[in-house]
Structure 1
């Protein structure tokens, strides 16, 4: 096999229903260079194996397929996939998402080849709500405006991230797998943070794929809490491991969203009795030391609770 310029990583577990679109979105790429698709199946109990083998046998010059005999979990499957890559650049697409732009890899490689000061590039995407079939924009117009692209850095990483994992292309040589052993439950935000220590990123105001949302009631209170708590944990870990207090900005931002969501959701009619709410208020104060905000949040909580009684 010719050495590929890009290694596209596809992690999959129980994605049989969606794999065809995911794989074909990669295979349709129109490039003037070779690329490989590395599919890592984490012992899916569905019929993913049969689907992947059909494509792997048909496109042996592109697809390299690995099926784990036992489920090793997302973090280890991701580490395994990274270790298999041979390309100068890395792309990524999980088995339930898919690309729609046949020139995605080509224009991203062209950009990185001509701009060595950039370490990665990303683009925009659409959101597909699987249960309803509703297709929407990604909600990032406020970041891009009418600009064709925006740049981001490690500094801006703590404020806004115009990145979606399955749209990225990054320089493989800068990806240090040691961080997978340092951080608990290794996530993409960790390696984005460390990659951006070497240079800038560019996000193009261009849709290249569709991100699939499975969970029913994705905006329910519990889903919101889980999402924000995960983000808070990630940025606390970044702060701790790197002594980087810039992470406080995102932690406070997430806590404010978490606190404000609880004031008005029907699931919590009496916020004054909700321990997680007070925990969040205390966490925010420990970081900000802002007595005014602490006072206002406590008063608001009591006032809202009395209205519900």
Structure 2
């Protein structure tokens, strides 16, 4: 039977982690499942909540947390290395899945479309604490279910995925992820362009997850200057791992969308 590993990286997400893990436990389908959760040295009650889930579902939930904080990239790497599935799904600890057949749907897609290197679905963005929900225009406008790097570059953000929690990856390709992707913040843009070297990226135009956008988020919690510098850093990473045919377009986006606005902040 096909095996799926769901990895849940988390850090100080005590208020979200129960809902996140609960939405993974509820997944249904014809596959065997393991849930790997890693708290990256959390200082709140996140680790205790993970332990509660492990005790309730000892054959399903594994806690592979370690106390020293190794950062987002180190935590992802730890989880990827521990995963034993044929496919690896990601759910960040402050998000949740809303469709109990999410894993089944994405597995079926990858088995039907063996040329695709990975698949992602639409996301619903929920503002915290306001509570308003919305969808991303860049995903609403997509009309294809198999995307190339050119499709990603057609959007100035280069980021049609927007959130790791919508993704399922072929595990054999995860094991080929280069060290370069983990030297700075591991991000979905660079990951997507690496996977695109091996085949199209699948897209399911159905919202199956909620991305909680809040001030404590890795991106949304940053001031404007830091966001721009982070944007440059992540896209420089893309430049290094993407197929060479994309190099000129990537450089242009870095210049126009990030370097020029950053320079303007100091004029």
- The alignment's TM-score, normalised by the length of structure 2, stands at 0.86
Secondary structure (helix, strand or coil) at the match of 2:208 reads strand
Aligned residue for 2:191?
191
Instruction: Note the 1:89-128 alignment, pairs <5 A.
Output: 89-128=87-126
> Given the superposition, is the C-alpha separation of residues 18 and 167 from structure 1 closer, same or farther in structure 2, using an over 3 Å criterion?
same
- Structure 1 CA distance, aligned partners of 2:47 and 2:110? 34
> Given the superposition, is the C-alpha separation of residues 62 and 84 from structure 1 closer, same or farther in structure 2, using an over 3 Å criterion?
same
Is residue 235–residue 254 contact of structure 2 (8 Å, CA) maintained in 1? no
Unmatched segments (≥5 aa) in structure 1: 263-274, 280-300, 302-309
Candidates 21, 24, 27, aligned match of 1:23: 21
- Structure 2 CA distance, aligned partners of 1:112 and 1:179? 22
- Structure 1 CA distance, aligned partners of 2:60 and 2:51? 13
Is residue 116–residue 146 contact of structure 2 (8 Å, CA) maintained in 1? no
Is residue 236–residue 247 contact of structure 1 (8 Å, CA) maintained in 2? no
Aligned residue for 1:159?
154
Aligned residue for 2:253?
253
* 1:277 corresponds to 2:261: no
- Structure 2 CA distance, aligned partners of 1:180 and 1:50? 31
> Given the superposition, is the C-alpha separation of residues 227 and 114 from structure 1 closer, same or farther in structure 2, using an over 3 Å criterion?
same
Aligned residue for 1:14?
12
Select the structure with the greater relative contact order (CA < 8 A; seq sep ≥ 6).
Answer: 2
> Given the superposition, is the C-alpha separation of residues 199 and 226 from structure 1 closer, same or farther in structure 2, using an over 3 Å criterion?
same
- Structure 1 CA distance, aligned partners of 2:81 and 2:182? 18
- Structure 1 CA distance, aligned partners of 2:122 and 2:243? 31
Is residue 38–residue 64 contact of structure 2 (8 Å, CA) maintained in 1? yes
Is residue 228–residue 254 contact of structure 1 (8 Å, CA) maintained in 2? no
Candidates 51, 64, 67, aligned match of 2:65: 67
Aligned residue for 1:172?
171
Deviation of 1:231 after TM superposition, in Å, equals: 2.6
Which structure has the highest helix share of the two?
1
Deviation of 1:191 after TM superposition, in Å, equals: 2.5
- Structure 1 CA distance, aligned partners of 2:117 and 2:219? 33
- Structure 1 CA distance, aligned partners of 2:235 and 2:82? 28
- Structure 1 CA distance, aligned partners of 2:110 and 2:145? 15
- The alignment's TM-score, normalised by the length of structure 1, stands at 0.75
- Structure 2 CA distance, aligned partners of 1:200 and 1:141? 16
Unmatched segments (≥5 aa) in structure 2: none
- Structure 2 CA distance, aligned partners of 1:4 and 1:210? 26
The farther-off stretch of 161-170 and 134-143 is: 134-143
Secondary structure (helix, strand or coil) at the match of 2:192 reads helix
Is residue 219–residue 227 contact of structure 2 (8 Å, CA) maintained in 1? no
Is residue 118–residue 202 contact of structure 1 (8 Å, CA) maintained in 2? yes
Deviation of 1:150 after TM superposition, in Å, equals: 3.0
Is residue 4–residue 86 contact of structure 1 (8 Å, CA) maintained in 2? no
Is residue 11–residue 77 contact of structure 1 (8 Å, CA) maintained in 2? yes
Q: How many residues align?
A: 262
